[in-house]
Amino acid sequence: MKQAEMEMFRAYSASDNKNSVIDFEQTKRTIKKVEQKEYKEKIVALKNYIKLHMQGKSIFRLSLLTIQVKTKQMFSKKDSANKQDAEFIKKIWSDRAATKKEYGRQYYKTQVNIIKEEYKNNLLKNINTFKSKKKNISENKLLVSRDGVIHDNKFLNVRTEKILDVKKQVKEVKLNFKSDSSISKKLNKLKLKVLVEELNSKISYEGEFKFKIYNSKYIYLEKLLELKKASREAIAKNKTLLKEVDSKSQKLEIKKIKKEELKLFFKKISTNLKELFTRKIKYKNFKQNNMLFYNEYKSQITKRSSHLKYFELLHKSKSLKISENMNKRKLSLEHKAEISEIYEKTPIIYSWWKVCLATVLTIILPGLGTLINKQFIKGALQILASVFFYILLLYAMGFGNIEGDGIFGLRKLGHADNLWEVGDARYFIIEGSLAVLFLTMFIMWNLINAYGTYKISIASKNGARVKTWTESKNYFTDIGYPVMTSIPTIAMLLVVVLIPIVTTFLLAFTNYKPNNAANFQWDGFNRFKEIFTPEWAETMQNIFGWTMIWTVFTWLSAFIISLTLATVLNNKRVKGKLLFRLIYVLPWAIPGFITILLFKIMFLPGSILSNFFGNDTFQSVPLYAKISVIMIQMWSGYCVNLVLITGILQSITTDLYEAAEIDGAKGSSKLFKITLPLIIYQMTPILVGQFMGAFNNFGIIYLYLDGGPYFTDVNLQGGAGATETIASLIYKLISAGKAGLASAMNIIVSGVIVAISVTILMRSKSVKGGVA
């Protein structure tokens, strides 16, 4: 790469990147994550850089330009012009070839290798830096406070004589301390603690920490008492002046002013109300006017009463109280900030045995380790939550089950040696599914809390103090608020969604019997093997193939129809848009089953649609039955997308289209380069959901022909017909008592579809970010 181009590429790739600072608190995993992110961003920047050079030189664009020039030459008689055009065509293709050669696959591979090598070197360098810092801290027994400052452990080699001497001094201070009668009992206690911890600060970080905390509290309380004293004196002085004023006459005058202003205020409100009823003003303006009148009313009272001494003193009294409260709040905030700073800057000495004990106890009962870390309120809340999870564990172990035996019931599914001890296997498998879910939730709760406690304990071992309850509370009311509010929803989803999934999964491994549904056993992978037998191979091939055709066709047709209608209705030249939109959305207003049954009648031999198309075999010949069912779905499926696309089109700014027109873009170019990418970008999650919905559509297949008509030349298993989809076949198998086989089929097919849908969704720019 040329030097100038290299600089350009570096500037281009670094435009959105910030140099990642590797902190000593980071783990190797975090360092790798940061470097991987930077590596991916550089690859994207490289691709964009290549695209920049290849812009306007695509094969399609140049081919189209060549065709246009050749067509022009056919009707042009000027040889000189034709010669220039030929040279022009030759030049653009040679330019493309030269650019492709310079910035082609080989160039891309070379640059990727350079970036990869740089990524490996940076990763190795940062990991080594991390290891050396960690080793240095460990070898020199340094402490790292919460603000990231590294401290020498100044109390590491404190002599025993000094400790004993300090303890002796502490005893003397406690014996000789005399309470100060001029201050409160609370301040006297704090003063004693300050004196004691001032001595302890010479032998331990804990003493230094407590001294700073108690000293801060003492200063805060002193200032608070002084503030209250000064405020009370000012208020008392103001009250004395109020008593000296002739309040009776001035009160009457203020009352008179208020009455006059109130009368004027109501008059304005009445006029404003009349204007609202006569539609001279809008409701929004009506509200604004009312607020304006009220402010005028208050300001006029203040203005007209300001010359009165009584009013002035009364206003001053209120101001003094407000000022006192504001100053109290200011002092409180300053004190909290100082306490937080002490926690940030003062290190702590924490033993390894405490780290191990806190982690082990948290695994047994979450909250106990938090108490050891001196986070008492948080620990108490964790213990309360853990009681709930222990109740779930008891249920999972079989306590409180209706008939099952919790997770142990899954072993035999109610079977016993004695006939009178045999249980209903359905209860055992459902309550076993609940047990699996509850046990998983219990284990996850304990492990997550244990990991959190371990991280906090390790941070304390390194020297960082734990967060105060105020800081933890602030986290849950700020960043953690969405997490806290999502927990009940997630819990409900786990129960409502996962229980049927787990039950279905377990049923796939049983020999569920239609004639004795309460008595079935584990059957291994036999249900899965049955699906892949020669008897079922042709059935699955026919049904899965038709299901995919049905899904893709109905899904795409709904999008294309809605896009076409929305684009036409969004055109400025179309009149009566509201009426047309109302007509096109009417199929959405009619209940789906009524629409399906009406079409079923209209497709009967000799009926309206059969006569219109001149075909009476829409419900008897497989091909025409498939066409008719797709037509019904097309009729009822486009409405939702029409509403969504209309909303997206109206939100697209006209500046984009104007800019495209300046660049010479035509209608089709604007549609495919601006409109369609923006629609797909915003609708990707919805389109993926609609794809899965189309695949699992059961109602239309069941209500129209119940999967029929049936093939005469092919013998399909499970009572499957020509229009049968996977969803309707599973329903038929369950109705026939083959729940195990239906569950196995559901797991295989759903797994494939979900995997495809999730892959598409996660790879889309709508999720990853960027513009489609």
Instruction: Measure the CA angle with vertex 439, ends 435 and 441; round to 5°.
Output: 120
CA distances from 603 to 69, 283, 599, 617, 701 (A): 52, 53, 6, 9, 14
Task: Supply the DSSP string of 493-511, one letter for each residue.
Answer: HIIIIIHHHHHHHHHTTB-
* DSSP character at residue 420: G
Task: Supply the DSSP string of 250-318, one letter for each residue.
Answer: HHHHHHHHHHHHHHHHHHHHHHHHHHHHTTSS-HHHHHHHHHHHHHHHHHHHHHHHTT-HHHHHHHHHH
Domain ranges, ordered by start, for the chain? 3-139, 163-344, 350-507, 526-767
Phi-psi region of 268 (alpha: psi -120 to 50; beta: other; left: phi over 0): alpha
Written as one letter, the residue type at 271 is: T
Q: Which residues pair with 150 in a beta bridge?
A: 144
Query: Do residues 510 and 520 touch, judged by C-beta distance below 8 A?
Result: yes
605 preceded by cis ω (within 30°)? no
* DSSP character at residue 389: H
Contacts (Cβ under 8 Å, ≥6 apart) of 560 = none
Beta strand residue intervals within 644-764, DSSP E = none
Query: Do residues 525 and 505 touch, judged by C-beta distance below 8 A?
Result: no
Task: Supply the DSSP string of 41-56, one letter for each residue.
Answer: HHHHHHHHHHHHHHTT
Query: Do residues 384 and 395 touch, judged by C-beta distance below 8 A?
Result: no
Report the alpha-carbon distance of residue 54 to residue 46 in Å, rounded.
12
- So what's the pLDDT on residue 13? 40
**Average pLDDT per consecutive 10 residues, the chain (772 residues; last block may be shorter):** 42 38 56 87 88 75 74 66 75 82 85 91 88 81 85 86 91 87 86 92 91 94 92 89 78 86 90 86 87 90 82 85 92 92 91 93 95 92 95 93 86 67 80 92 94 92 87 79 81 84 89 76 88 87 92 93 91 85 87 91 92 90 93 91 91 83 78 87 89 91 90 79 92 88 90 86 70 46
Written as one letter, the residue type at 467 is: K
Report the alpha-carbon distance of residue 238 to residue 115 in Å, rounded.
76
Report the alpha-carbon distance of residue 664 to residue 756 in Å, rounded.
39
**Residue whose entry in the numeric block shows the structure tokens 């304390």:** 460
**DSSP helix/strand/coil, 181:** coil
Tokens of 767: 């999720």
CA nearest neighbour of 2 among 10, 241, 603? 10
CA distances from 727 to 505, 509, 693, 757 (A): 16, 20, 11, 17
Query: Do residues 711 and 622 touch, judged by C-beta distance below 8 A?
Result: yes
Tokens of 184: 């409160």
- So what's the pLDDT on residue 78? 64
Helix axes 469-477, 376-396, angle to 10 degrees: 60
Q: Which helix (H) or strand (E) holds 151?
A: strand 150-151
**What is 526-767's CATH number?**
1.10.3720.10
Task: Supply the DSSP string of 601-661, one letter for each residue.
Answer: HHTSTTSHHHHHHT-S-TTTSHHHHHHHHHHHHHHHHSHHHHHHHHHHHHHS-HHHHHHHH
**Residue whose entry in the numeric block shows the structure tokens 């902190």:** 23
Report the alpha-carbon distance of residue 661 to residue 667 in Å, rounded.
9
Instruction: Kindly tell me the burial class for residue 520, based on how many C-beta atoms sit within 10 Å of its own C-beta (0-12, 13-18, 19 or more).
Output: buried
Report the alpha-carbon distance of residue 734 to residue 746 in Å, rounded.
11
- So what's the pLDDT on residue 23? 46
Written as one letter, the residue type at 659 is: A
Query: Do residues 39 and 115 touch, judged by C-beta distance below 8 A?
Result: yes
Written as one letter, the residue type at 181 is: S
Q: What is the pTM of this model?
A: 0.71
Q: Which helix (H) or strand (E) holds 144?
A: strand 143-144
In this structure, which long-range contacts are made by residues 717-723, counting pairs with CB atoms below 8 Å and at least 24 apart in sequence? 717/535, 717/536, 717/539, 718/539, 720/539, 720/542, 720/543, 722/546, 722/622, 722/625, 722/626, 723/546, 723/622, 723/625, 723/626, 723/629
CA nearest neighbour of 685 among 644, 637, 727, 630? 644
